[in-house]
Structure 1
């Protein structure tokens, strides 16, 4: 479940960065059209990988339930961090993406 949580948070952060306002707030510039598309694609890819991680860990019955819980938790965390600590939200996404290979070995 830890792997799915980290992938969900990274995916939601990438989708957040694909929007002009959030991208300029966090990184100080407007994204190009190519970067916006790559952030959207990466975000959706990470969310689909998180579904795979949740389902492969516990099966379809419980995996979908855990995935929806992880989706809500990671989205809530991002929504609460963005207005008050946007740099922490960005750093946490980077950490979660860097630590996800470790979580693969812990889960497996």
Structure 2
């Protein structure tokens, strides 16, 4: 469940960075149109990967329930963190991107 949480947080952060306002706030410049598309694709791919990890670890029935809970938790955490510490949100997304696959591999 940790791996799914880290991956979903990173996915939501990528989707967040695909928006001009948040990209400007976190990185200091506006994203190019191609960068927006890349960030959107990466965000949805990370969310799909978190679903896959969750279903593999708990089966379809409980995996979907756990994935929904993880999605809500990571989204609330990101929304809470963005107005106060946007740089921390970006750093935690990088940590989630690095440690999420490691946690998934360590589970098996």
TM-score computed with the length of structure 1 as normaliser: 0.98
| Aligned pairs for 1:86-101 within 5 A | 86-101=86-101
Q: Which runs of 5+ in 2 are unaligned?
A: none
Write the deviation string for residues 31-64 of structure 1: whole angstroms up to 9, x where unpaired.
0000000000000000000000000000001000
Q: CA deviation at 1:9?
A: 0.2
How many equivalent residue pairs? 108
Distance 1:100 1:8 in 2: 9
Distance 1:68 1:17 in 2: 22
- What's the TM-score once normalised by structure 2's chain length? 0.98
Q: How many angstroms apart in 2 are the aligned matches of 1:92 and 1:75?
A: 13
1:42 aligns with 2:42: yes
Give the CA RMSD over aligned residues: 0.6
Runs of 5+ consecutive residues of structure 1 not aligned to the other structure: none
Stretches (4+) displaced over 3 A: none
